[in-house]
Amino acid sequence: MTHDKLILDHVYAHESELADRVFLTQPVGGGQVVDTTWAQAMDQSRRMAAHLKGLGLAPGARIAMLSKNSAHFIMVELAVWMAGYTTVAIFPTETAETVRYVLEHSEASLLFVGKLDSWPQQQPGVPAGLPCIAMPLSPKTEFETWEAIVARTAPLPGRPARAADDLAMIMYTSGSTGTPKGVMISFEGITRAGEGIVRDTRHWIGQDTECRMLSYLPLAHSFERSWVEAQALVDGRVHLYFAESLETFVQDVQRARPVLFISVPRLWLKFQQGVFAKMPPAKLDRLLGIPLLGKLIARKIRKGLGLDQVKRAGSGSAPIPPDLITWYRRIGLPLYEGYGMTEDNSYSHSSNDKFNAPGYVGVAMEGVQVRISPEGEILIKSPGRMVGYYKQPELSAESFTEDGFFHTGDLGELRADGLLKITGRAKELFKTAKGKYVAPAPIENLLNAHPMIELSLVSGVGQPAAFAIVLLAETLRPRQQEDALRAQVRAELDRLLAEINRQVSDAEQLRMIIVAREPWSIENGCLTPTMKIRRARIETAVAPLVERWYADQQKVQWA
């Protein structure tokens, strides 16, 4: 891969060399799927590109997409790029208010509306008069459809080129704090990230291995855009499958039988809890320890999850409990943690067969430089680096050191062999009344490793000691009013509290564990679209109760 090629050059090569190879597989309901080859995908994209070009918008005009992952998300992106414009993807779970903010802030000229679950609630966020096009699988709308436009428009010919410094996309961060920031990504940035990811993947799975992936984490997020879409567009031999819905997810995974599979910690935990719901952890642990039987059971679990063909599995986007990685490796799934952010196209650090350790996010990927500032902040220089924040030149300038390293805002430690450990986020550190700093993430990881817990939040600003709020596992939540279950939860969490307090410093000791009454979700604003917890939102919601919790001497309490 030479450095003068950009992502569209890779795509044009696949269009001619891999024309009949199936590229995208889209479920369309009732167990049916539509396969699209490279030639077919490019034919549709070129027809839409010709239509968009015919609108006569200014070069680089922003075209927005509001859609869940689908084959046509990729085709829209290619059409917009070939037409000379810039994509702005909006998380499909955003509120009308955020939809409006992104469309207005980016000055979008047009909106593609795709597969969505809550369009009636989101539609009021679309400014009156903004032209819209309905993608296949979209909710019923009055908009002109993708199919109608493609049917009447001749394909855009040739190999329309984009410059390395042209903007390919503006990615609005899911913002666990405040309004989303628009991260400007150039064709150079997304190409170098995609190429680096392909080199890394192919090194570990082999150059000729059939590579199937399931795309289900939001494509509006950098992790999926780089590790799934950009990788597929650069490699050409990746067969991308899409998920239909949450209800069909297990069947979707089993259809794809992925060779590469990436997920976020919350989902890795959910998969594990699903296994535990069928067999208690202690029994499973005992059986896995029996030489021949253990192997058979491990294979059966992987097959049940649809992950028996996986050669590499990855976790990113948030810290994952080291015990969880150990558990997956024990059932024969090669799970590796990675680290990256929107600002570097998620191209930063990755664990691998050679360099990995529980609690570490891996080593710098090819071409990435890393150092720790005197204040303990991780500074990264990546070939996938952003251009800056859209319409925020001061913030863009402040985000880089004089020699071009990005201020990640994460605190970390670097081992002599290059393995990086993240010890917390600078902004998340808080002081208790004792005046000592507490980093919540490592303590949350210890809590999240427990099979009864799905998510946790450690807080306690200005309080005598820190405390934790936990969300019980999905299988336990419907029964959390039952006295017998409460007694069991109390006993388990009491034991967990003592165990954690033995592992942390005096300043980090937890006074109590509070069991959340309501689940935290994207819909109620407690989670970001990428399933990170919105600390400020949860802390504000529980603020009136905190005093009462401290007054109560119980170590485990219900909110």
Q: What is the pLDDT of residues 398-457, one digit of tens each?
A: 999 999 999 999 999 999 999 999 988 888 888 888 888 898 988 998 999 898 999 999
Answer whether residue 176 shows pLDDT above 90. no
Answer whether residue 177 shows pLDDT above 80. no
Answer whether residue 306 shows pLDDT above 80. yes
Question: What predicted TM-score, i.e. pTM, was given to this entire model?
Answer: 0.89
How far apart, in Å, are the Cα atoms of 355 and each of 61, 226, 344, 360, 415?
A: 43, 22, 21, 9, 11
pLDDT at 313: 96
Backbone angles phi, psi at 174, to 5 degrees: -70, -10
Top CATH class, 7-186: alpha beta
Q: How confident is the model at residue 2 (pLDDT cuts 50, 70, 90)?
A: very low
Residue 483 to residue 206: CA distance in whole angstroms: 54
Mean pLDDT of 467-481: 93
How far apart, in Å, are the Cα atoms of 520 and each of 316, 439, 450, 470?
A: 20, 21, 18, 10
CATH topology of domain 429-558: GMP Synthetase; Chain A, domain 3 (3.30.300)
Mean pLDDT of 31-48: 97
pLDDT at 69: 98
Q: Within 10 A of 147 (CB to CB), how many other CB atoms are there?
A: 12
**CA geometry: angle 167, 164, 193, nearest 5 deg:** 85
Q: How confident is the model at residue 555 (pLDDT cuts 50, 70, 90)?
A: very high
pLDDT at 50: 98
The overall average pLDDT reported for the chain is 94
CB 66 within 8 A of CB 92: yes
Return all residues near 544 (Cβ < 8 A) that are at least 6 apart: none
pLDDT digits (tens, 9 = 90+) for 53-90: 999 999 999 999 999 999 999 999 999 999 999 999 99
pLDDT at 3: 60
**CATH for 226-426?**
3.40.50.12780
**CA geometry: angle 485, 486, 487, nearest 5 deg:** 90
Q: How confident is the model at residue 120 (pLDDT cuts 50, 70, 90)?
A: very high
pLDDT digits (tens, 9 = 90+) for 358-412: 889 999 999 999 999 999 999 999 999 999 999 999 999 999 999 999 999 999 9
Six token digits for residue 21:
């190879």
Mean pLDDT of 491-512: 94
Where along the chain do its domains lie?
7-186, 226-426, 429-558
Domains 7-186 and 429-558 share a fold: no
> Which one-letter amino acid corresponds to residue 496?
L
Residue 415 to residue 220: CA distance in whole angstroms: 33
Of 197, 278, 271, 277, nearest in space to 238 by CA: 197
pLDDT at 205: 94
Return all residues near 277 (Cβ < 8 A) that are at least 6 apart: 475
Answer whether residue 1 shows pLDDT above 60. no
Answer whether residue 302 shows pLDDT above 90. yes
